[in-house]
Amino acid sequence: MIELINITKTYKMGEIEVQALRGIDLKVQEHEFLCVMGASGSGKSTLMNIIGCLDRPSAGIYRLDNSDVSNLNDIQLAAIRNRKIGFVFQTFNLLPRISAQRNVELPLIYANVQAVERKARALQSLERVELSDRAQHKPNELSGGQRQRVAIARALVNNPGIIFADEPTGNLDSRTGLSIIAIFQKLHSQGATIMMVTHEMDIALHAERIIYLKDGMIVGDEKIAHPRNAAEELSVVADLDHDELKDAIKKHEK
- Give the pLDDT confidence score for residue 199 in this predicted structure: 87
Contact 95, 43 (CB under 8 A): no
Query: Which residue spans within the chain are E strands per DSSP?
Result: 2-13, 16-28, 33-38, 59-64, 67-68, 85-89, 162-166, 193-197, 209-214, 217-223
In angstroms, rounded to a whole number, what is the distance separating the alpha carbons of residues 4 and 159? 23
Q: Which CATH architecture has domain 29-56+73-253?
A: 3-Layer(aba) Sandwich (3.40)
Q: What is the pLDDT along the chain (254 residues), one digit of tens a residue?
A: 899 999 999 998 888 888 999 999 999 999 999 999 998 889 988 999 899 988 899 999 999 988 899 888 888 888 888 888 999 988 888 999 999 999 999 989 888 899 999 999 999 999 999 899 999 999 999 999 999 999 999 999 988 889 999 888 888 888 889 999 999 999 999 889 999 999 889 999 999 999 999 999 999 999 999 999 999 988 876 655 555 556 655 655 55
CA of residue 60 relative to chain centroid, distance: 24
Q: Where are the domains of the chain?
A: 29-56+73-253
**Widest CA span of the chain, in angstroms?**
58
* Nearest Cα residue to 160 out of 62, 56, 63, 80: 80
- Give the pLDDT confidence score for residue 9 in this predicted structure: 95
